Every structure is written in C-alpha cells, then in structure tokens.
Amino acid sequence: ADVSVEVATVDHTLQKVRRKYHHTRHCRKRRSPKKRFEELWSGLWTYPYLVVVVVTAVVFAVVVTVWALLWVFTCRESNNGVYFAGMIRVANEEFIPEYRHADSTEFLSLAKKIELVLSNVYKGSSVAKLYKQAVISDLSNNNLGGVLVHFWMVFEVPQLKSPAVREEWVGAILRDSVLTSLQNRTSVGYLLDLPVDIESILINAAQRSDYTSTSSGSECLDKPYAPLPGTSVPLELDPPGGGVSCHIKLTSAPGSVVRLTISSFLIQPSDCVGDALTVYDSLLPMSARTLRAWSGTCSMSDLLSTNALCKCSFSGADDVCVSACSSHVETQEGAGYTGHIYSPFHPSLLPTKCICTWLFGTPSPSLGVSLKFHNYVLRPKDPNAHCTHGWWKVNDHMFCGSYVGYSTVFRISHPSPEVEFRCSSRQAQMPFQAAYGSYNLSQPCDQGHFLCSTGFCVERHQRCDGLDDCQDESDEHFCCTASCGGPSPPHPLYVCDGHSDCSNGRDELNCTQGTLRWDCVGTCILKKNARCDGVPDCQDRSDEEDCGCGLPSPVRKVGSFSNLDRIVGGSNSLEGEWPWQVGLLFSGNLYCGASVLSADWLISAAHCFSKERLADPRSWRAHLGMLTRGEARHVAEIQHVVVHEFYDASTFDYDVALLRLRRPWPASLAPLVQPVCLPTPSFTPGPLRPCWVTGWGYRSEGGSKGGSKVLPAVLQKAQVSLLSPSECKKRFHPVTARMLCAGVPSGAQDACNGDSGGPLACQASAGGRWFLMGIVSWGSGCGRPRLPGVYTRVSKLTSWIHQHIT
C-alpha cells in the first residue's frame, strides 16, 4: 500500500530540468556571484549535461589517438637498423702491441681517427641521410704491413628504402673514394687523408645479433694471443645456453698464421638447428671470409688463417690462408711411385690463397711424370669457367682440379715439367696428396692392358665385363652388343634381364651363375638384381632385409587427363601411386622435389641447397603424401641438410643431398607415404621395364605455356627410357659415372624446372618393387628432341647414402 509507481520519459525528465534551471535563473535575482557559480556548476553536472561532457571527452581522445597513429604509420616511416661488417688495411701505420687492447689510449686514439674518416666519407655520399655511425671493433697486425682494421657500420634505413643500402654499394663508396687517388699502379690510395689498400676493402652485410654479441661487453667473448710462432694456446669453451653466441678472437705474432686444431667438438642433437661452429679468416663474422662451418658432429681438421688472426663463432661461416711452397723433385726409372707431393699445410684444410711450384726431373728424356691423386682429378681448363677447387699450370697448359670419390692418374708427357698450383676457392677445401713416379712416354700401359680415362691401366679382359674397373666406367663404354657369337660371353648388361637378346637364348641361360651381383655375408651368389626380389637367395636372407619399400597402392585418380594437364608429356598421377614423392617448399614456395628413404631421411639434389641462403634447413618444409599442391598429408621440418662433399656446382657431379627430418613421419600415413627402394651398385632394370619421372615442375621449357607461367596443381608423371652410358656421352659433355640419361627420342616426355631433386623410379621386374634409379639433376632445356634429361645415378652413391642414414 505504501508503494507508488511513476513512469517517466526522457522528454518529461528534460522538462523538469528546464523548469528547475529557468526558476533558478529568473526568480532569484538577488543572489551573490559566488552562490550563482555554485548553482550553475551543480546544474551542469545533472544527468543530460554529464552525458554531453563525457561524449565530448571521448570524441576528443579518439581524434587525438587516430591522428597519432596516422602520423606513426602513414606520415612517418619506421626506421630499421642495417648493419655491415668491414675490413680495411691502413698502410702507413705501424702496429704496436697496445692496439690489441680496445681500452688502451693508443687504440682509442687511432680508432677515433678512423671512425671520423669513415663518417666523413659516408656523410658526403648518396647515403648520408641514412648513415648513423662507424665503430672500430679490432686493430690487428697482418703479414702485408700496416694495421688491419675491423669495423662495424650502422645505418638507419626506412623500410621503404631498405633495398637502397646493400653491401655492394656500401663497399663501392669506400673503393671509389680510394680509386681516384691511386697512382703508379699501386694498390694503396687515400681515403680522405688515410692511406688505405684498396684490395683490402671488404664489406659484408651482417645481423644485429652479430653486432651486439661481438662488442666488448659481450658475456661470451675471449681474445687469446700467441706471442711466438709455434706457441700452443689451449682453448676450452662450454658456451652457456639461452641462445648466447660465443666468440673467440685468435691472434698471433706478425709474420705468422693461426692454425686452429679441433680435437673435440660436439653439439648435442636437439631442435636448435642454429647451433653451429664457424671459423672466419677475420675478427668479425664476415660471410666472405668463412673458413669452415659445422653443425652437429664434424670430422676433425686443422684450419689456417690468411694472417695472424682468426675468429671462432658459434653461429656463422668464413674463408682461408696465404702460403707459399716449392720444391725440386727427382723421379726414378722403373721404380713405380717413389714419393709424394702435398697440398699446402697438409693435412690441414686447403687455404683460399696459396701458391706451390714443383720442378720435376726424370733420369731419361724418354720418361714422363706420373701423378697418382687420391680423390682428386685434373681436367683441361674451360676458358669460360672458373677453377673452384684449384688452378693448375703444367708447362703453360691450364688445368682445373676437382674432388672425386676415387683415385686418378695424371700423366705429364715431358721429362722435366714445371707444375704450379694455386688455391682458388672462396672457402677452405679438403687437402690433397699425390704419389709421383715416371712412365714410358711411348707406352703408358704395359702390353695387354687398357688405358682408362682415369689414367689407370687395367687388363684387357676386364674391358666390357660389366664391372667398373676404371672407377669411371670408361672400360664399359661402347660395349652395347649382346656378343651372341664367339668365345666371349654376352655383355652383363644383357644377361638375365628377362629379354632374349640372342637368337639361341644364350644371354638368358644359367641366370643364377652369371656375373657377380650380390654379396651375402660370408658367401657370394651369382644373380642379377637379387636385392628385394622376393626370393631369399642368401642363407641368412640378407638380400631380403629392409625391403619395406617400393610397393605403391594407387587408390584414386584426380581430374581427367587433357593436354592442359601435361608437364612435358606428363599426366596426372593417382593418389598413392608415388608414395615416396616429396615436395620441398622454401619460404613457402614449392622449390624442389625429394624422395622418402626412411622415416627420418629424404634424398634430393645438391643444387637445390647450393646457395648460402638455401642451405639453412629452417627455411624448408617437406610436404609428404601430397598429390595436389597445398594438400599434403604431413608437413615436416628439416633438421639437417647433408650435401655431398664432392658436389661440383659447375658440372653437377655428385648432385645429391640428404635431408634429415626433425621428427619421423607417422607410420599411420602408410600407404600414402612410403620409402622408395635404394638400388645396389650393380642394379640394372630390364630394357622392357618402365621408368617414370614425377614432379610438380613446369610444363614446358622456360616455365611458360600460352605466354603465362603456370605450375600444375596435381603431381605429374612421365614415362622415359634409360640410355646407355655411351649414348649419354654422345648427347652431352661432360657426363660422369655419377650421371645417367633418360628420355624419349622426340623429347615429348621429360623433366623440367621445378622437378629438381625428384625421383626417377624404375621397376626391376614386372609387378616388382620400384627402385630410385635417378634424381632429377640437369639438362639442355626441357623436352628437346634427342636431348634427354640428365639424372644423378643413385646406384653409384648408395655406399655414401648408407654411411649417413644408418
């Protein structure tokens, strides 16, 4: 009974407020000014006026905030720090011991002078507005005199202008400043008033982390010094965790070089793929001065610096050594190999700068000099190519050296030749050695022997016996006849291949007693392609072990076949038809192919990872069980990339790489993900057995079809035929024993750009397992008539593969 209800509208409330305000203003005319102000203030904070004030304040705050954001993100460019590591040689300054200490008065005085010169140069250049500062990191002695200066340069570059500051242009500013003052063919000019050796100027782009971690205040920095040549300085370093980079700056007395001997090195396997040890021929982490870089465990080797300095860093890479060597060598007649010559500082790694000269002499003008190399070969120099693994001059004839997986013999048809060797690589290379002796100029091989391309002499009965006696198969070239008549047996290429090449069937008789094909433990069997053929031929069944591979189970077809689906004669694959096929994506883009070898390992082509930016496993992703691009059954991260140590980027020899997955792919993905079988060294598919190349590469040469670049969405397949080594060599030069050719005469079926690293799979027998015969490597265009594709020959590299994956 005491409750009353009033329904009020906004209009009703406002009318009451207006009446109250009107009554206050007009009825109380004799109030004091102070009283009127108080009443007015209380009136303003009544409900409607409070709303107006709050809304106005909010609108004002929003306007101010929006304006500030527009100024930051639109009107004002955000600046990024860009860092460069540099090195120059000041020619007129004598090195004193105080320069080794960055806090000494002498160091600070010279450093301030050089920093001022560098600043004046860049403040007067086209990048003056972007230049921030130069910081001298180290002063060191060198074997050319003067003082070697190691410095940092920092630029503040707006994001929109970041491409305008590159190491080539930053270095060109210094070189141009010195170039104008060069006189009388000397390499020393003036950087303003500072005499600088123009050949010593080197600028490399760097990371901010390199700049901060190598500063004098770094928590993990050491600077040992060897005061006398031959002094041994022990190094023991246990770097802390948490992503800290440790650096050791090694220096030694003038006139010497630093030899770094690694006796123990271990990085525990983990997800930290960035863990690495890098050695530089500099006191700063400069990529162009990389001596060696390791991740995980490594083979122990000695490293040598160019000067009396060297830097070890736990995250980077670097370059090499200067030395000279010469000797006079006398050979003996009829005594075989009587001595050895060695690479500079052997057995240390080969430096980048070195010169060696050997003067040979034989006891008779009818004798020449024979050099037997281990894992090294000399070939005539191509006038248009650069020698990347050693430059040789033999009596005014030029040769290039390269590393191979076998021994070679190099013969010099002169009784007293002069042999000069120069280092020519940007990175430290493996050492070499050669045994020397004399040979008869008129008859290099004894009677009844065959001269191999490797320089070896093998007995004539070993020619065309199906075995690689020359180590480069030169004894097996041009043997493509079945030899069905006469006393000689048929060539092993035709024996027991399931096809009768002889009219009397001679090549298919006694197929378990032909050429040696498989080694059991403790015994041998004579059977072709006994590996994983489903028949246990060895008593211990070793020929059928680890054979869970190469048996695909296609389940469905995607789309319909048409000319638009073709990639150089290919067609759409079925799901599960090629379960070992892998797509490799670099920074999100499909770049190469690969094949599954096991739950942990993939195999691909070395040239996919040859450049420095491509060698970082963190930028790669492996797409397994993928039929249509972007629809992988499993995406795996790469933990480690192993490129064959003999890979030659100029010839694509040893074009093979292994990729270790960070985690095994799930077994539940079978049969859509499955390994391909590895062939034995003697594996030979029958001539009627199909071989197929697969990939997502371009459909035609140049990657264009109808004027536009289009990659197929569905995995493509194309059937090709293997060519004999002799036919392959007729098409291309040079073709090595680690290469094979496959295609069709018309060129209608072929691999192309984007298929690199992918598989060439062949069946050993009808309904049998599929073996990885080749890896897409190189070719002359795509789909050209009479120009087949060239593949890495896997059967020649199986031992190297097993060394890593087992």
CATH, range 584-669:
2.40.10.10
Q: Work out the pLDDT band at 361, boundaries 50, 70, 90.
A: very high
Where do the CATH 2.40.10.10 domains begin and end in the chain? Answer: 584-669, 691-803
Q: Which CATH architecture has domain 322-440?
A: Sandwich (2.60)
Domain with CATH 2.60.120.290 in the chain: 322-440
Read off the pLDDT band of 169 (50, 70, 90): confident
What percentage of the chain exceeds 70 in pLDDT? 72
pLDDT over 90 at 162, yes or no? no
DSSP of 478-514: T------SSSSPPPTTTTTSSS--STT-GGGSSTTBS
**Active-site residue, from 655, 682, 755, 795:** 655
Residues in the chain, overall count = 806
Q: CATH 3.30.70.960: which residues of the chain?
A: 80-210
Q: How does pLDDT run across 465-498, given as a tens digit for each residue?
A: 767 778 777 777 766 555 565 555 555 555 655 5
- What Å distances lie between residue 59 and 46, 54, 56, 73, 754, CA to CA? 20, 9, 5, 21, 56
pLDDT at res. 346: 78
Active-site residue identified among 247, 389, 607, 623: 607
User: Sorting pLDDT into bands at 50, 70 and 90, what band is 263?
Assistant: low
Which position has the higher pLDDT, 81 or 365?
Answer: 365
Segment 551-595, tens digit of pLDDT = 888 765 444 333 333 357 778 889 889 999 999 999 888 999 999
The 3-class SS string of 235-248 reads: CCCCCCCCCCCCEE
Residue type, 172: A
Token output for 144: 């050319």
| Least confident span in 141-150, 371-380, 547-556 | 547-556
Number of C-beta neighbours around residue 82 at 10 A: 22
Per-residue pLDDT tens digits for 223-256: 888 887 777 777 766 655 545 567 788 888 777 7
43-47, 286-290, 433-437: which has the highest mean pLDDT? 433-437
Catalytic residue among 245, 256, 424, 756: 756
Q: Is the peptide bond before 347 cis (omega within 30 degrees of 0)?
A: yes
Picking from 411, 405, 482, the residue whose alpha carbon sits closest to that of residue 452 is 411
Sequence-ordered alpha helix ranges (H) in 88-141: 105-123
Question: What is this structure's pTM?
Answer: 0.61
pLDDT of residue 499: 54
Higher pLDDT among residues 7 and 779, named by residue: 779
CATH of 691-803, one of 2.40.10.10, 2.60.40.10, 3.40.50.12160, 2.30.110.10: 2.40.10.10
Residues 590-617 have a mean pLDDT of 90
Give yes or no for a contact between 594 and 758, defined as CB atoms under 8 angstroms apart. Answer: yes
Nearest to 140 by CA among 281, 319, 320, 309: 309
CB of 762 closer than 8 Å to CB of 782: no
Q: What is the mean pLDDT of the chain?
A: 78
Average pLDDT over residues 648-667: 91
Residue partners of 347: CB distance under 8 A and separation at least 6: 301, 302, 431
- Is 655 catalytic? The answer is yes
CA distances from 780 to 157, 384, 773, 786, 793 (A): 43, 18, 20, 10, 18
Q: Which CATH number fits domain 80-210: 3.90.1150.180, 3.50.50.60, 3.30.70.960, 3.30.70.270?
A: 3.30.70.960
**Burial label, 364 (beta-carbon count in 10 A; 0-12, 13-18, 19+):** exposed
